[in-house]
Amino acid sequence: MGVGTPDWPTMRMAGFETTQWSMILASAGNDAGSDEALARLCHCYRTPVLAYLRSRGLAREEAEDLTQSFFAHLLSQRLHQRADPDKGSFRAFLLSALKHFVISEQRRVGAARRGGGAIHVVLDASVEPASAPTPEEVFERVWAQTVVARAVSALRAEAAAAGKAELFAALGEFLFESPDGQDYALVSQRFGMSRNTVAVAVHRLRERLQQLVSAEVGCTLGDPGGIRAEVEAIQAAVGQPAPM
């Protein structure tokens, strides 16, 4: 690892004229490209759906099965064609579609109970104390965590590609918490860098993470003008400052 200021990428990203979600919303027919984009988004944001269902009282295996059923239903029925482009985000669409799916599932289970059929899933929102987060709050928090985690993963991959994986591992913990003087000293000594150089490296990492969070958010919006508001929502859901 060479001495000197690490050359972390610092360029600003261009505007997100066409995003995955805007392309999906614009597709009115059986467009293979939009189907693939929707499948990718569903894969990326599977975890918030699972967390929502778990928060409603399902065991892990039951929630996994119902998550699979939900996405199969969403994709096969092409529910995105009913989405309101003015409401903007894939996050809002996914939560709305999920809540409707849960209601339908509850009705199906109720009908099976009345008809004497086998009951495979019981959705119970009352199993947590009243002070616990609502399923919607759980969804929002895990969504935010997923966005940030995907951005951090992308940043880690960039560092590895630049031959700086070891330095990133040492500085990564400072992305969300400011290091103290001792922390800087340890990194400085380990990599033969001045404290000022370490501080510059941390600043560049945070700046690049900001860009990657914005890029990740942009993929889930119909209107790229809403990136700032969406990132602020992520900050509120995570409960700590998001990279801005």
DSSP 68: H
Distance CA 183, CA 124 (A): 47
Tell me the angle at which helices 135-161 and 227-238 cross, rounded to the nearest 10 degrees: 110
Q: Are 81 and 179 in contact (CB under 8 A)?
A: no
Tell me the angle at which helices 227-238 and 195-218 cross, rounded to the nearest 10 degrees: 110
Host domain of residue 121: 20-238
Within a domain: residue 123? yes
Within a domain: residue 13? no
Q: What pLDDT does residue 86 have?
A: 58
Q: What pLDDT does residue 13 have?
A: 41
Residues of the chain with pLDDT under 70: 1-19, 28-30, 84-87, 109-131, 240-244
DSSP 131: T
Show the tokens assigned to 56. 């409603």
Distance CA 214, CA 13 (A): 9
Question: In Å, how far from its chain's centre is CA 66?
Answer: 20
Show the tokens assigned to 211. 């860009």
* Digit-coded pLDDT (tens) for 104-122: 888 876 655 545 444 344 4
Within a domain: residue 201? yes
Overall number of domains in the chain: 1
Show the tokens assigned to 186. 């340890």
Within a domain: residue 6? no
Distance CA 40, CA 38 (A): 5
DSSP 243: P
Show the tokens assigned to 190. 């380990």
Distance CA 114, CA 117 (A): 8
- CB-neighbour burial class of residue 47 (10 A; exposed 0-12, middle 13-18, buried 19+): middle
Within a domain: residue 37? yes
pTM above 0.95, yes or no: no
Q: Are 88 and 226 in contact (CB under 8 A)?
A: yes
Closest CA to 46 of 24, 31, 68: 68
Within a domain: residue 8? no
Contacts of 197 (CB under 8 A, 6+ apart): 3, 4, 5, 6, 188
Q: What pLDDT does residue 111 have?
A: 57
Q: Are 8 and 204 in contact (CB under 8 A)?
A: yes
